[in-house]
Structure 1
Amino acid sequence: MADFVLVAGARLGAWAWDAVTPHLSRAGHGVHPLTLSGLAEKQGVPAGQQTHVQDIVDVVEGKDLRDVVLVGHSYSGIPVGQAAERIGDRLARVVFVDSAVPGDGEAFTALMPDGGAALKATLAENAGFWPVSPASSFEGHGLTEEQIARIVAGATPHPGATLTEPAKMARSVADLPATYIKCFPEDELDEGLAELIAHGNWRLVELDTGHWPMFSKPRELAEILLDAAL
């Protein structure tokens, strides 16, 4: 059986996986949803990009997990991809859920169309944190009003250093055994991502929903994660 380590995106904590974890547990797998430093119940803990990478490595090594499937959603694909490289033969597969993908020397902000200028300005205006998004920003993602309310209520401001500090990769992320879950399948695949999918180690799976499938389609997301563990 696999050990799933689940890491949600910016502003979210382990709680974001509550509707997904039962499906994985019932299949007999170990399930370890993780809150990164500075978020949710760890709010107030100082954090940079490498703090988040170490958070993930510490869970894997501290619990002596094997056959690990690392799952990163949105922002968390960046620390998850780095941690995948560092846990060695404990890794079975990485799953990027509609997420950013790390490149050596690149920060999350560098992946944005404006080079992260707008986000950096927002961080400067909010004491170095990325504030919680309003409910209106979640419209059009297949979420119910109740689900949106839960996300907004549970979210916490995100520590900005994790977004502006660069990733550190010893080799290309293309070398990792990976599954990429693409939401909004009608949208064209990013050129860089298409190149990664073309690599023999990567698989592409499309999920017809918005950016937060752990809320909008938890059962379907769990089924994809279970397939990735095979």
Structure 2
Amino acid sequence: MTDFVLVAGAWLGAWAWDEVAAGLRAAGDEAHPLTLTGLAEKQGSEAGLQTHVQDVVDEVERLGLADVVLVGHSYAGVPVGQAAERLGDRLRRVVYVDANVPSDGASFLSGWPSDHVRRSIAEHDGLWPTPGAEEFAGQGLTDEQIARIVSDGTPHPGASLTEPARLTRSPAELPTTYVKCLLDGPEPSDEVAALLKSEPWRRADLDTGHWPMFSQPRELARILHESAV
């Protein structure tokens, strides 16, 4: 039995993991979906990146987990990767699901053309609004799944996207699985490709888009379960 703490990306809360969590529990694991501050049922609270890092660390401590797999999807890879190094020997593995990996001194918005995101945050009182349905096209999602993401998603705290990460060691040193969703591009970023050359890192592929907790929850649950073996 493995304990998984599951953290979804921008606009999403713990609810995004319902089907994946059910799959993990059916396999005999424990699943602990986590909503980050400022999102879903916690919306309305201000949050920077370090708030979200602390959210993850606090959840592990609250649950008393000693051999935990941290799972970060998309944006959530940035706080999850920082939380992972703070857990010490309580960490079994990090799993990045088509996620950004933290780099010391860099923010989620660093390294890609993100001026439009910064403008949107400035125009929406410090929040990154949930995109419309058209932004989720071509990612292996049904119309019903897209409608749920759009209706249940909540604006994302902008400060968490612009605040730089703080790391004391390279993510290459931690036991890690990177799940690449192939419809979102067949190869990971150059940074992730370099990290995958390190001995503690493994790669797993999913033939779906960027939101596999909706499009392929059973397959994602299987990969997560196998990552802990």
Q: TM-score range by the shorter chain?
A: over 0.9
Write the deviation string for residues 133-185 of structure 1: whole angstroms up to 9, x where unpaired.
Answer: 10111110111111111111110000000000000000111111100000116
Secondary structure of the residue aligned to 1:179 is strand
Deviation at 1:40, TM superposition (A): 0.1
Contact kept in structure 2, 1:20 and 1:222, CA below 8 Å: yes
| Residue correspondence of structure 1 range 119-130 to structure 2 within 5 A | 119-130=117-128
2:169 to 168, 171, 181: 171
Q: How many residues align?
A: 228
Secondary structure of the residue aligned to 1:77 is helix
Amino acid at match of 1:32: H
Contact kept in structure 2, 1:2 and 1:66, CA below 8 Å: no
Match of 1:100 in 2: 100
Match of 1:4 in 2: 4
Percent identical among aligned pairs is 61
**In 2: Cα distance, 1:187 partner to 1:14 partner:** 27
Amino acid at match of 1:131: P
Deviation at 1:188, TM superposition (A): 3.2
Match of 1:201 in 2: 200
Match of 1:84 in 2: 84
Match of 2:48 in 1: 48
Structure 1 unaligned segments of length 5 or more: list them. none
Deviation at 1:29, TM superposition (A): 1.4
Deviation at 1:190, TM superposition (A): 2.1
Contact kept in structure 1, 2:196 and 2:202, CA below 8 Å: yes
Match of 2:225 in 1: 226
| Residue correspondence of structure 1 range 108-187 to structure 2 within 5 A | 108-112=108-112, 114=113, 116-184=114-182, 187=186
User: TM-score under structure 2 normalisation?
Assistant: 0.97
Contact kept in structure 2, 1:66 and 1:90, CA below 8 Å: yes
Secondary structure of the residue aligned to 1:20 is helix
Write the deviation string for residues 93-121 of structure 1: whole angstroms up to 9, x where unpaired.
Answer: 00000000000111001032x2x322111
Deviation at 1:27, TM superposition (A): 1.7
Secondary structure of the residue aligned to 2:19 is coil
Deviation at 1:132, TM superposition (A): 0.6
Secondary structure of the residue aligned to 2:196 is helix
Secondary structure of the residue aligned to 1:111 is coil
Match of 1:211 in 2: 210
Match of 2:22 in 1: 22
Contact kept in structure 2, 1:95 and 1:178, CA below 8 Å: yes
User: TM-score under structure 1 normalisation?
Assistant: 0.97
**In 2: Cα distance, 1:35 partner to 1:52 partner:** 9
Amino acid at match of 1:26: A
Aligned alpha-carbon RMSD (Å):
1.0
Match of 1:37 in 2: 37
**In 1: Cα distance, 2:97 partner to 2:90 partner:** 20
